[in-house]
Amino acid sequence: MKRVFSGIQPSGELHLGNLLGALINWERLQDDHDAVYCVVDLHALTLPQAPEVLRQNTINLAQLLMAVGIDPERSILFVQSHVPQHPQLAWLMECTVSYGELSRMTAFKDKSNRDSTKFVSAGLFTYPALQAADILLYDTDVVPVGDDQRQHIEITRDIAERFNSRFGDTFVVPEHRIPPAGARVMDLQHPDRKMSKSEGESPGTIWVLEDEKKIEKKFKRAVTDSDGEVRFDIESKPGVSNLLSILGAATGKSPEALAESYTQYGPLKGDTAEAVIELLRPIQARFAELQADPAETERLLKMGADKAEAIAADVLARAKNNIGLLG
């Protein structure tokens, strides 16, 4: 069976982009893959986090992943900082990637330019090396991610190929799996920028735990355009195309085909809101049940970390041996 690995940061609440771009795919892939899923808390440290908030976000996110359908008995679900091989392999990765390659990462450019007065950590610059370590530690074949992660998976492949060619066959070179619809969910108020956790509260972000009335209101106010034609055209109609993509991802239909069923923006907004509410309802109910027992969540995460470490320790030992470190 092929192995799938992916991670998500506990850097804020889960939004619709995370769900449609990544988590729905994670859930499906469990059926025919050996799945390893990780709450990447070390990545969240690249931006400032209040310790208590980070702790709570980590537990909440693990519970949300289970509420979406990630089954910790069937898949490996764990927290990154519980498995010490991640930062250990990251150093080997940092020494295999160049400053120039890291400088070209658009996520770094975007985040470091967001506010010039803010502290820009070295971790924000080097985190693609940690992400490469996360993926390569599990001999991963497939990485299900949203479109924003395409560049990071490419750099992971480059690092793996370079390491293999310098030190002999060590890592499996992984491929990304980006969903056909919902791969890049945009902010409803700013359809030129992606929905993002670290942007914080925004009228253009739909939260997975948000109540129905607020979701309806946000879709009703979604920015469209003035030409009045329902057409899937990301370049010239980003707002309308975003609604069609969301509706397509939530219902399993293609955005192009859906466009033909609408002549006005109002019904498109209403149906998209309804489809999203239907999708979120069971997730919200299951999350409420899981929240009642955080100790059980912590037990399941420890079990996941033990299983993850058993794989990661072997791969790290292989990499250390091949690069010439003493065993």
Please list the active-site residues.
111, 194, 197
Does position 195 bind ligand AQP by CB under 6 A? yes
Does position 11 bind ligand AQP by CB under 6 A? yes
Does position 25 bind ligand AQP by CB under 6 A? no
Contact with ligand AQP (CB under 6 A) among 64, 145, 268, 276: 145
Contact with ligand AQP (CB under 6 A) among 17, 72, 204, 255: 17
Task: Write out the two tokens for 256.
Answer: 């192009």
User: How far is the CA of 185 from the CAs of 12, 136, 191, 257, in angstroms?
Assistant: 17, 27, 9, 18
Buried b (16+ CB within 10 A) or exposed e, 31-60: eebbbbbbbbbbbbbbbebeeeeeeebbbb
DSSP strands (E only) in the chain: 3-8, 34-39, 76-79, 142-144, 175-177
Does position 156 bind ligand AQP by CB under 6 A? no
Task: Output the residue with the shortest Cβ distance to ligand AQP.
Answer: 21
Residue closer to ligand AQP (CB basis): 208 or 300:
208
Contact with ligand AQP (CB under 6 A) among 149, 170, 224, 245: 149
Q: Cα angle vertex 111, ends 118, 108, to 5°?
A: 120
Residue closer to ligand AQP (CB basis): 222 or 319:
222
Distance CA 66, CA 83 (A): 20
Does position 155 bind ligand AQP by CB under 6 A? no
Number of residues that bind ligand AQP (CB under 6 A): 21
Does position 107 bind ligand AQP by CB under 6 A? yes
State the Rg of the chain over Cα: 20
Q: How far is the CB of 196 from ligand AQP (least distance, A)?
A: 3
Contact present, 198 and 2 (Cβ < 8 Å):
no
Binding mask 111-140 for ligand AQP (x = CB under 6 A): x-----------------------------
Q: Which amino acid is at 96?
A: T
Chain contacts with ligand AQP (rule: CB under 6 A): 8-9, 11, 17-18, 21-22, 107, 111, 145-146, 148-149, 183-185, 194-198
